[in-house]
Amino acid sequence: MARPDDKEEEAVVPGHPPATGHFPVPGGSPAGKMSAEPQNGPRAGCLALNGVPRDSPAPVSGALGRPQTQLTAEEETQVRLLTAVPGEEPPGAEGSPAPLTALSTRRFVVLLIFSLYSLVNAFQWIQYSIISNVFEGFYGVSSVHIDWLSMVYMLAYVPLIFPATWLLDTRGLRLTALLGSGLNCLGAWVKCGSVQQHLFWVTMLGQCLCSVAQVFILGLPSHIASVWFGPKEVSTACATAVLGNQLGTAVGFLLPPVLVPNIQNNTDLLAYHISVMFYGTSPVATLLFILTVIAFKEKPQYPPSPAQAAIQDSSPKEYSYKESIRNLFKNISFVLLLITYGIMTGAFYSVSTLLNQMILTYYKGEEVNAGRIGLTLVVAGMVGSILCGLWLDYTKTYKQTTLIVYILSFIGMVIFTFTLDLGYIIIVFVTGGVLGFFMTGYLPLGFEFAVEITYPESEGTSSGLLNAAAQIFGILFTLAQGKLMSDYGPRAGNIFLCVWMFVGIVLTALIKSKLRRHNINIGIPNGDIKAVPVDSPTDRESKTVMMSKQSESAI
């Protein structure tokens, strides 16, 4: 069976073939078009590309009225993936069904708006922790109170994730996006009323609203990528959506130390600087909420991939949220991924929350550099996320990539732990960047791997559960690491995280990689058959997929 041409992006693909399993063959197909020609012998059923049957020098000719050629189910899926010109009907499409799949240019607008309001939400998460000593002095509270301004994000997520994912699955993407952006905007404005020393509870209220907004944000990257983007760009789109949240964390590390200097001897001036930070955030959050209202759509007119088309063609009555949850927890590979993702991301949350305290333990008065180190950690992770997304779209080697990144994150954490106290802050910049490249770069890998091994379950539900695990581990790790730091120093707390990350490596190695979504996209209906990476070097060597119920597929 011929494999789809690599140039399938930005393509509108022909509609569903008839229920009989036949695909109409237009006569006199010009070069560059596709047709199917009945053949005798072992070649029967092969697809013809560029108007010429495979292994035949003779051109294809005929009329529209010729008999239709029987195709297998796998070949029908491949036919729907073949290239056609965007915005045009394929040859002989007069009176044929509407196009099955298409890529909408609006997908980039949706992705940009989501990434930006996710950025603002992440900024508000970390803006207190990176200058925790300043807010401790201003509000007259302990470091634990300031830590909870970060941990409330994690705490709110756990009980709210199930109603949030239910809302996404039953009421749709647009309403979920509006809630996330709207609550984020509201929380930003509430904080503007907390710039007085006795109003710590008001700033906590505003942070609680932002933490609820996060519940409607963190689970959306893989859902937006699947609903709006094609098979060869879905992982990159997911990584880009996660990138917005990471960039917000980076800005949260960078700006607060600059906007709010440590001038606790002048309370009025300090209050002014805090208000500048709060009032600078609120208008941006408001603008993004307005843009979400205007431009955010539920889904494109046509599904972007055969996998999405199959989901959208199914009857809504067949969907059960409770059954979906049960199916996910029956999937042993997903449960293992749930734990390993929670460990890795929880460790990242803990390091981010306590970074200021770690740095100031060994480098007194370096609040600004602590923020810059956090910035380095996250920016390096942003680069890692994009590279991982591109690599997954190119190879589809989800488990291998996830395991390698996990191992390198562990190595980075060990190096960071044992070089933190050497007295050279430039070394901390380097080790923090290495740690961030792999640890933060892991985040979109977990989302996309989960979607692959749980298809056709909802992307929002699987991502939401991953994030819930991350929040639980994040709270536990932050509390445990904070206690170890206060009693024994930063090294003890970091060793604690290293041990858990090693456990995560072992569990990741046990995950079975069954790429169900990818199999559907390349025309393999049997989810037990191992998928061959799209556009891999091996794939270019041969264009034929051999299928067998007793053995794995081979190219």
CA end-to-end span of the chain: 10
Q: Are 410 and 502 in contact (CB under 8 A)?
A: yes
Matching CATH number, 103-305, of 1.20.1250.20, 1.10.1200.10, 3.40.50.1370, 3.20.20.150 = 1.20.1250.20
Residue 477 amino acid letter: F
Residue whose entry in the numeric block shows the structure tokens 């040859």? 91
| Domain edges within the chain | 103-305, 323-524
Q: What is each CA distance from 424 to 213, 354, 509, in whole angstroms?
A: 39, 19, 36
Peptide bond into 537 cis (omega under 30): no
Q: Which pLDDT value is given to residue 68?
A: 45
DSSP characters over 483-510: HHHHHH-HHHHHHHHHHHHHHHHHHHHT
Q: Which pLDDT value is given to residue 244?
A: 85
Single out the residue of 206, 492, 476, 252 nearest to residue 356, CA to CA: 252
d(C-alpha 552, C-alpha 548), whole Å? 7
Single out the residue of 135, 226, 234 nearest to residue 459, CA to CA: 226
DSSP 21: S
Single out the residue of 86, 39, 91 nearest to residue 67, CA to CA: 39
Peptide bond into 303 cis (omega under 30): no
Q: Which pLDDT value is given to residue 205?
A: 94
Q: How many CB atoms lie within 10 A of CB 44?
A: 11
Task: Kindly calculate the radius of gyration of the chain based on its CA atoms and give it in whole angstroms.
Answer: 26
Q: What is each CA distance from 317 to 30, 40, 223, 313, in whole angstroms?
A: 43, 44, 20, 12
d(C-alpha 243, C-alpha 442), whole Å? 11
Superfamily for the 323-524 domain: MFS general substrate transporter like domains (1.20.1250.20)
DSSP E strands in 224-374: the ranges are none
Single out the residue of 217, 210, 475, 503 nearest to residue 353, CA to CA: 475
> Partners of 101 in the beta sheet?
13
DSSP characters over 88-118: SPPTT-TTPPPPSB---THHHHHHHHHHHHH
Q: Which stretches of the chain drop beneath a pLDDT of 70?
A: 1-99, 311-320, 515-555
Q: Structure tokens of 350?
A: 């803990």
Q: Which pLDDT value is given to residue 67?
A: 44
Single out the residue of 549, 441, 384, 460 nearest to residue 175, CA to CA: 460
Check if 103-305 and 323-524 are the same fold.
yes
d(C-alpha 115, C-alpha 382), whole Å? 13
Residue whose entry in the numeric block shows the structure tokens 């098979």? 231
pLDDT digits (tens, 9 = 90+) for 46-103: 333 333 444 444 443 443 444 444 544 434 434 444 333 344 444 434 444 544 777 8
